[in-house]
Structure 1
Amino acid sequence: MTIDAIDELVARSKPHHELARFHRFHREHPEVLDFLVSEIRLRIERGFGAFSFASLWHYSRWKLEMKSGPTTTYLMNDHATPYYARAILILHPEFNGRAELRTATPDRVFGTELEPLPKKRQKGYARRLRWADGTPIELGWRPTQPHVVAYAPATRADIHPREIV
C-alpha cells in the first residue's frame, strides 16, 4: 500500500471516528479527491473566483455515479464534506480563501481554524483556513508526498440530447 498525502495528513491529525471514516472512504475511492480538485481547477481556469464545497460534493456524487454506471453506488456521506474541504485546502493552499467555510469538527481534528472575521468584509470575501497556531496554511505543514491528480474528468461541457424548455 502506497502512502499518499491524505495518509500523511491523517497520521498527523487527532483521532476521531469521522476522520477514520473519511480516511477509509478516501482509500477506497481516491478518485473523489482527484475529481473535486480537478473541478475546482477547471472552475478557476474558466474565470470563476469562488466555489462551494457543498455543491461540488453533490456534483461529484452525480458525475462519478454516472461514469461508473448503475451498478456502482458512491455512498458519499455529507459528513465527509468538511473533511474533504479542509484536506483540499491543506494540500492545495492556492484554493484557500475561495470557498465559504464554517467552523467544524475537522478544524479540531486537523489542527486548523478559520481566520478571524474582519470588521468590514470586502465583496466576495471568504474566510481563509489557517493552522491553529495562526500560521497560514501555505507556510505550515506540507506532506512529503504532494497530492497529484491521477483521475482526469472530462473538461468538455455536459451535452444533453435536447434542450429542456
Structure 2
Amino acid sequence: MPSFDIVSKVDLQEVDNAMNQARKELQGRWDFKGVPVDISMADDKKGLVLKTDGEERLDALWDVLLGKLLKRGLTANSLERGKKEPVGGKQFKQSVQLQQGIPTEKAKELTKLIKDSKLKVQASIQGESLRVTGKDRDELQAAIRLCRESADKLHLDMQFENFRD
C-alpha cells in the first residue's frame, strides 16, 4: 500500500550557517558599530538566543537573521519568537524556538483536515510525524497538495519523506 510521512525538521547546519552570515553582516552595519550583539544556539540545541542593547536593535537583529534563514531554505513557520526580556543594564535577550517534529495538537488538526477533505487516504500519528497511506498514488499526491496549501494556516513547516509505492 503506498504511503508517505509528513515530518517537520530544521537543518541545524543551515541554521548555523545563517547565524554566521548574520554575524558578518552585523559587523559591517553602521547602526551596530560598537554595540554588543550575540547570536548563539541555545544549550538544548532546540532554539537560538539573541542578545543586544535595546528592543529596537533586537528587532533589527531578528530581521537580519530571518533574512539569512529564509535565503538558506528555512521557512518562518519553523521558527517561534519568544518574549523580549531585559537581562541587565540596557541588554535585552530573546529566545527563538526551532520546530523539530510535529506537535500533537497540530498533528491532530492535520489529520482532521485530511479526513475532512474526503480523499481516500488514512492519516495516523506516529510520534512526531504523520503517516499517510492510501491505495492510489494520485490520492496521496492530492493529500500532499492539501497539506502544502494549509501549511501557513496551521503555522507548520512540513517536509514529505518516504514516499513508497
Structure with the higher strand share, 1 or 2: 2
For the pair shown, the structure with the greater C-alpha radius of gyration is 2
Higher helix proportion: 1
User: TM-score surpassing 0.5?
Assistant: no
